[in-house]
């Protein structure tokens, strides 16, 4: 198994607990709580680990709902893109969009009712966005720290402590109900970052020798079953001929082409020779901004303004260019191109939808080692009749499936948060198969097994195994890397250099929220 090294690293500034603020879902005053931190710069692998612990970003600000305290708990949700099953409503959206492209047909089904994502219209603005408690006054995005320096952060750990090196499993144990099944493929690269993650595993990677040349190549079980069936039917026909029976009287083979249409079949359905409209979908890197992103920035901001004002009821000053740039364009994710990764590379992108040369929608996405993570979607309200929320989600699922062909581990589509206590926000559960993140053990649980618990209680431990625990929960504070006074040190050295610091409880809280794996990998800034 090849090892692929990501040379980027992460610097965070923990901002602590938020004061209560008004909830955008139940409208309760001073009832919504979360923890937050500024990501001055971040490796894509570190962000992958963070969202697998319930974190989410808005611009460079990362936040994690205080699940057992906030009024409307927000559960991280993901869908297995390789096994996606389309609902009847989703198929209707795809067919309607195809009719519009083909013939300009704008007739809505169901009396003009919109579906899925279009149901979450609210006058309270962007509900999932948590405004930072305060802005950071320090810019550490350009700080340069060599991988060697990160590996050899100054500290006073004893040799025995280093040798013990409490290992943190990269793979969280399976939930009793068989939640996450995303084990790395043998053909996929093992991503190892030079910022300390490789120190967490006491064992060296197991070497593989490849397929046995003396054995036939592996084949899909479906093809093997099909061939067996065809051989059985051929034998039955021969026996029928020997008995003097007509082939028409023999057992007829069922049509082999009876598989349901895939997502790609719907999206790539052929258009007439002269279609009424032309759709072009572009993936442009937003950080750092590519040529396509820079050229379309002004147009994209105008579409964003129209969306926020007409759909979410924002005032023009709340969707200014600076706010748009900060919220949807600025990203802490460091771009990374791997020979074994997707052609686009990893990092932050805008997924643009151009209809007849006009920008009508933009999906803000992060492409990470294991997933495509949806950050936000905005669209031109004039085209709401096309159910662009649902259509864009299906397009993003198709993008995930496309990227997975070259990066086998990238098979998940993260949709942000699932809010069961808000009926209008349950539409994300319509994408199947989906899983919710247990807020206590950080295992993935199939949504159909999680929702009965959420019907009884807004906050619930989703893992059925009462003995299961957070495997990343036991943390040695002395192994946490600290950026202090322009020097990289371990926490124990930081305490020696700054004996007046009274922040042990805050550092301990930070470590428990990000987990041991991330706490040892990332760099925490202390001033």
Higher pLDDT, 138 or 508: 508
What local confidence, expressed as pLDDT, does residue 297 receive? 98
Whether the per-residue pLDDT at 439 is higher than 80: the answer is yes
User: In whole angstroms, what separates CA 149 from the centre of its chain?
Assistant: 30
Higher pLDDT, 495 or 115: 495
Whether the per-residue pLDDT at 197 is higher than 60: the answer is no
Cβ atoms of 416 and 77 closer than 8 Å = yes
Q: How far apart are the first and last CA of the chain?
A: 41
What local confidence, expressed as pLDDT, does residue 325 receive? 96
Report which secondary-structure segment, H or E, holds 427: none
Cβ atoms of 336 and 195 closer than 8 Å = no
Report the percent of the chain where pLDDT is more than 70.
74
Measured CA to CA, the distance from residue 243 to residue 54 in angstroms comes to 68
Q: What is the pTM of this model?
A: 0.79
List, in sequence order, every residue forming a beta bridge with 488; answer none if it has no partner: 483
Among the listed ranges 10-19, 244-253, 302-311, 473-482, which one has the minimum average pLDDT value? 244-253
Q: Read off the tokens for 410.
A: 């990238």
Measured CA to CA, the distance from residue 199 to residue 196 in angstroms comes to 5
Average pLDDT, integer, range 367-385: 97
Average pLDDT, integer, range 364-371: 98
Whether the per-residue pLDDT at 129 is higher than 90: the answer is no
Measured CA to CA, the distance from residue 17 to residue 36 in angstroms comes to 7
β pairing state of 487-490 and 34-41: unpaired
Cβ atoms of 520 and 151 closer than 8 Å = no
Average pLDDT, integer, range 82-88: 97
Contacts of residue 221, defined as CB under 8 A and 6 or more positions apart, other chains included, come to none
Nearest to 130 by CA among 49, 13, 286, 22: 22
How many other β-carbons are positioned within 10 Å of the β-carbon of residue 117?
22
Whether the per-residue pLDDT at 199 is higher than 50: the answer is no
Higher pLDDT, 128 or 202: 128
When the pLDDT of each residue in the chain is averaged and rounded to a whole number, the result is: 83
DSSP state of 22: -
Q: Read off the tokens for 484.
A: 């202090």
Question: 342-358 pLDDT, tens per residue?
Answer: 999 999 999 999 999 99
């Amino acid at each position: 198994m090849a090892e692929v090294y990501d040379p980027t690293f992460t610097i965070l500034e923990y901002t602590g607990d938020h004061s209560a603020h008004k909830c955008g879902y139940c409208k309760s005053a001073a009832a919504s709580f979360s923890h937050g931190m500024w990501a001055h710069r971040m490796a894509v692998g570190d962000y992958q680990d963070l969202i697998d612990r319930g974190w989410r970003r808005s611009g460079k600000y990362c936040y994690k709902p205080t699940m057992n305290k906030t009024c409307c708990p927000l559960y991280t949700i993901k869908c297995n893109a390789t096994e996606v099953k389309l609902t009847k409503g989703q198929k209707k959206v795809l067919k309607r969009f195809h009719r519009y492209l083909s013939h300009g047909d704008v007739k809505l089904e169901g009396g003009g009712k919109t579906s899925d994502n279009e149901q979450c219209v609210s006058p309270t603005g962007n509900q999932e966005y948590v405004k930072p408690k305060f802005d950071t006054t320090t810019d550490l995005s350009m700080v340069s720290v060599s991988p060697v320096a990160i590996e050899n952060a100054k500290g006073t750990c004893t040799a025995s402590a280093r040798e013990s090196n409490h290992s943190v499993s990269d793979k969280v144990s399976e939930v009793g109900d068989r939640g996450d099944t995303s084990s790395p493929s043998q053909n996929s690269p093992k991503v190892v970052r030079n910022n300390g993650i490789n120190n967490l595993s006491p064992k060296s990677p197991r070497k593989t020798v490849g397929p046995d040349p003396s054995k036939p190549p592996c084949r899909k079980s479906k093809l093997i079953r099909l061939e067996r069936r065809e051989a059985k039917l051929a034998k039955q026909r021969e026996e029928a001929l020997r008995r003097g029976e007509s082939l028409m009287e023999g057992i007829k083979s069922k049509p082999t082409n009876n598989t349901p249409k895939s997502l790609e079949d719907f999206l790539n359905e052929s258009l007439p020779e002269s279609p009424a409209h032309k759709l072009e979908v572009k993936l442009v890197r937003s950080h750092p901004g590519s040529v396509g992103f820079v050229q379309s920035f002004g147009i994209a901001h105008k579409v964003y303004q129209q969306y926020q004002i007409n759909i979410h009821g924002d005032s023009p000053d709340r969707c200014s260019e600076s706010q748009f740039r900060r919220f949807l364009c600025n990203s802490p994710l460091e771009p990374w191109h791997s020979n074994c990764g997707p052609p686009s590379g990893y990092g932050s992108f805008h997924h643009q939808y151009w209809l007849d040369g006009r920008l009508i929608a933009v999906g803000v996405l992060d492409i990470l080692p294991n997933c495509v993570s949806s950050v936000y979607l905005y669209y031109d309200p004039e085209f709401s009749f096309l159910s662009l929320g649902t259509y864009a989600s299906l397009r993003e699922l198709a993008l995930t499936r496309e990227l997975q062909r070259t990066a086998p581990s990238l098979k998940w589509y993260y949709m942000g948060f699932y809010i069961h206590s808000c009926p209008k926000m349950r539409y994300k559960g319509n994408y199947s198969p989906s899983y919710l993140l247990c807020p206590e053990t950080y295992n993935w649980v199939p949504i159909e097994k999680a929702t009965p618990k959420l019907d009884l209680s807004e906050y619930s431990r989703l893992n059925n195994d009462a003995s299961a625990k957070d495997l990343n929960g036991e943390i040695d504070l002395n192994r946490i890397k600290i950026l202090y006074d322009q020097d990289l040190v371990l926490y124990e050295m930081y305490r020696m250099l700054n004996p007046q610091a009274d922040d042990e409880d805050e550092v301990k809280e930070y470590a428990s929220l990000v987990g041991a794996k991330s706490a040892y990998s990332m760099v925490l800034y202390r001033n």
